[in-house]
Structure 1
Amino acid sequence: MDKDQFNSNRDGKNIIHNKMIERQSEARTIRRIVLIICLALILIIGGVGLGGYLYVKSALGPVNPQDKTPKTIEVPIGSSVSSIGKILEKNDIIKNATVFKYYVKLNNESGFQAGSYDLTSAMSLKEIVTSLKTGKVLKKAAMKITVPEGLQIDQIADIIAKKTGTTKPEVMKKLDDQAYIKKLMKEHPDLLKKDILAKDIKHPLEGYLYPATYSFYEKKTSVDDVIDTMLDKTESVLDQYQGEMEQKKISVHKVLTMASLIEEEATAKADRHKISSVFYNRIDEGMPLQTDPTILYALGEHKGRVYYKDLEIDSPYNTYKNSGLPPGPIASSGDTSIEAALNPEKTDFLYFLAATKTGEFYYSKTLEEHNQKKAKYITSNN
């Protein structure tokens, strides 16, 4: 080997050696960077977790352990856990209404009584919950609002207007106001989702104002208070079905939509679970639901009969032209219809009809069978 070749080989080895040193150095640097990033993430996650833990721990404690001044708190009849939490937070009895709500749920607390309570800011959540189970109604309601099952939102608005001294157009304007609806969505995040703001929805809160009798204890109750109380009631009713809805992977919006169809079709003699099964069976078969109440809702009319010409209305709520559920609820449904919407009876029925005179319901598996019953129980009675 000559001298030049020897030097060349030596230079080559030096270059390889230097590159190896550089790669080792880069690898060490990368490992340091990865380690720093991992440590930073651990600290951030730990910090967030610790912050959340400390926040919840703080919210579980008294607002002010030194302030033992009694405050008279009124809990109206029919109040949900959410509405009680808001009342307590507003009066500085608890720190956070949401934490209170989940504390009650996680501890399976129930049996809260409407009434008048002397509570203090120094009380723990456990003491407050214990007190709420012993209430007595000491105050007579200043106003009561009764909303029957199956009413549409414009009919409910009329009732609210008369009781609060406002006008129906004013109430409807508020119920359709986007800014107001978004505010309510923040206050009721578990109930009001983005579904209610879909472009085809006629009225965002249709079907979300629970039908019941409400008592109010203030001499002048605002429209906002009435709506908030009704939404609280809807939340409390749906809370009992939360696990079932999660298991069946069905949203609140779909449950209330199906329940409203059942509510509008059912009579006192109807089996809501069978009606529910017909609707679900038709959806599974890809058949339109063809339910007349959706036509009336699309027309914006309250009348007793649907004509063939009405079936041609161009509307996303027309279940004769469109398959599946309508965009949203068409009325406010009660607990029995909500339960039926979640638990349809297992049947092969695809049709049902109500006899004109008796109100009895008849179910069929085929169109031929349905038409025979229609001729027997409806046409022959006209």
Structure 2
Amino acid sequence: MRVLGGVLVLVLALGAVGYGVVRHLMHEPDAEVAVGAGEPVHVVIEAGSTTADIARQLVDLGVVESVLTFRFTVSQADADGRLRAGEYDLFTGMDDGDVIDLMLIGPSADYVNVTIPEGFTAEQVAARMTAQAGAEAEEMMRLCTEGAPEFAAERPYLEGAFGDSLEGFLFPATYSIEVGTSEREIVEMLLDTFEDQAATLDLSYAEAHGLDLADVVTIASILEREAQLSEEFPLVSSVIYNRLERPMRLQLCATVMYTMPEGTTSLTNADLEQDTPYNTYLHDGLPAGPISNPGLAALEAAADPADTDYLYYVLTGTDGSQTFTETYDEFLAAKRLSQEVFSD
């Protein structure tokens, strides 16, 4: 298991203290441990405090009962001079050993939980990490959108990433990030999670069709933007595979939309004629690179699509569902149905 920043603190805590104390650190009281029996007390241990100083302060605040007993327990634990300064949220009437265990670890770090939704672009990931994790905006954006060469030496799948972008590989999940974690460490965390999830994929079908992991990520990134329902990911994936096999241009609006200004909700004929590496109306095959950061369901569908002869699909349900067809005539009929459904 890879550990970064604040995650390491929790791992150390699990190895160093008892189960009840760890539950307290995670704000989950355990009825069998003294920490849950008293009133909360905020304790500030100043740098340079001796064991005797700490003991007197804890007794004055009612956290422990006796200076002598606390100092004796510290001595027995070979912890004299090792108790760490800082701020602690403790309770009255705590067990001496529990307090010592906590102070040997040191004050619990401050964390923020940041959720990256499936289908976010690299720019959106950078913006959210800046807003919620306190990352420096310019550096976070730089790493996410053009930092691939800096990580490629240890992550070969990033070699040749189009535009040097990490698009597609910043895995969507909820991350617990220690305040002060560097921008590089945040990106490493997202890439590590991608690798862990990608390792579960069976790429045999994709490879039999001449596709590699980067291609699967690109297809998965399209699924996130082309399908509103995750249960339709395998069907949309089958359309992409079937078109690639014919060969037939993908002609997918989501790939063109990727290059449009943020907030664009529809495309004009002029937009479809814009010559970019992502315009699958003009160019054969997959776009130059991923167009979003896909989750595991999309990656699985991209690696192993449904077995169909579908070549077309169109949104026909107000719940986001689509109608899939094998022929163009069937597609036109479904398109007329779609226009009727959404004309109201």
In 1, distance between residues paired with 2:284 and 2:315?
22
Q: Which residue of 2 aligns with 1:297?
A: 258
Counterpart residue number, 1:194 = 159
What is residue 11 of structure 1 aligned with on the other side? Answer: none
Q: Shift of the alpha carbon at 1:307?
A: 2.0
CA distance in 2, matches of 1:176, 1:356: 35
**Which is helix-richer, 1 or 2?**
1
Which residue is equivalent to 1:352?
Answer: 313
Q: Distance in 1 between matches of 2:185 and 2:205?
A: 28
- The answer to whether the 8 Å contact 1:269/1:359 transfers is no
- 1:97-246, aligned counterparts within 5 Å? 116-118=13-15, 139-140=25-26, 142-177=111-146, 180-189=147-156, 192-196=157-161, 201-202=162-163, 204-216=165-177, 218-241=178-201, 244=204
**Could you tell me how far 1:370 is from its partner in structure 2?**
0.3
Q: Map residues 12-27 of structure 1 onto 2, 5 A cutoff.
A: none
Look up the match of 1:328: 289
> What whole-Å deviation, never above 9, does each CA across 1:25-72 have from its counterpart, x for those lacking one?
xxxxxxxxxxxxxxxxxxxxxxxxxxxxxxxxxxxxxxxxxxxxxxxx
1:234-282 deviations in Å (ceiling 9; x for gaps): 0000111266479646422111001011111111275111111001001
Q: 1:380 to 1:244 in 2, by over 3 A?
A: closer
The amino acid across from 2:247 in the alignment is G
Which residue of 2 is the match for residue 319 of structure 1? 280
Unaligned runs of 5+ in 1: 1-80, 92-112, 120-134
If the length of structure 2 is used for normalisation, what is the TM-score?
Answer: 0.66
| Deviation string, structure 1 residues 83-111 (Cα, Å, up to 9, x no partner) | 24x88xx99xxxxxxxxxxxxxxxxxxxx
2:121 and 2:187 mapped to 1: Cα distance? 14
- Distance in structure 2 (CA, Å) of the matches to 1:204 and 1:118: 38
Counterparts of 1:349 and 1:255, CA distance in 2: 19
| Pair 240,115 (structure 1): closer, same or farther in 2 beyond 3 Å | farther
CA contact (8 A) 1:164 1:223 kept: no
Report the Cα offset of residue 224 of structure 1: 1.2
Aligned residue identity for 1:293:
A
Can you list the C-alpha shifts for 1:346-382, whole angstroms capped at 9, x where unaligned? 1111000112634221011111110111011225632
Deviations 1:113-165 (A, max 9, x none): 9673438xxxxxxxxxxxxxxx9676456111110001111111100111233
Residues 148-196 of structure 1, C-alpha deviation per residue, up to 9 Å, x if partnerless? Answer: 001111111100111233454432223344xx5333112334xx33231
Report SS of the residue matched to 2:313: strand
**Aligned amino acid, residue 160 of structure 2:** D
Structure 2 counterpart of 1:309, from 270, 274, 298: 270
Distance 1:332 1:136, change over 3 A: farther
Aligned residues with identical type, % of pairs: 29
The structure-2 alpha-carbon separation of the partners of 1:380 and 1:219, relative to structure 1 and needing over 3 Å to count, comes to closer
* CA contact 2:135–2:182 (8 Å) conserved in 1: no
Please tell me whether Structure 1 or Structure 2 has the larger radius of gyration of its CA atoms.
1
Determine the C-alpha separation between the residues in 2 that align with 1:284 and 1:172. 36
Cα distance in structure 1, aligned partners of 2:169 and 2:305 = 21
Paired with 2:176 and 2:300, the residues of 1 have a C-alpha distance of 25
1:324 deviation in Å?
0.8
User: How many residues in Structure 1 have an aligned counterpart in Structure 2?
Assistant: 253
TM-score scaled by length of structure 1 = 0.60
In 2: Cα distance, 1:319 partner to 1:354 partner:
19
Deviations 1:287-327 (A, max 9, x none): 11111111111224332222222101110100111111111
- Give the Cα–Cα distance (whole angstroms) in 2 for the partners of residues 279 and 150 of structure 1: 18
Contact 1:256 1:329 in 2 (8 A): yes
Change (3 A) 1:150 1:349: same
Match in the other structure for 1:375 = 336
Secondary structure of 1:352's partner?
strand
Q: Which residue of 2 aligns with 1:281?
A: 242
Query: Which residue identity does 1:237 align to in structure 2?
Result: Q
Q: Give CA-to-partner distance per residue, 1:196-226, whole Å, 9 cap, x none.
A: 1xxxx2452001000000012x331211111
- Which amino acid in 1 is paired with 2:250? L
The residue type paired with residue 227 of structure 1 is V
How far apart, in 2, do the equivalents of 1:161 and 1:375 lie? 44
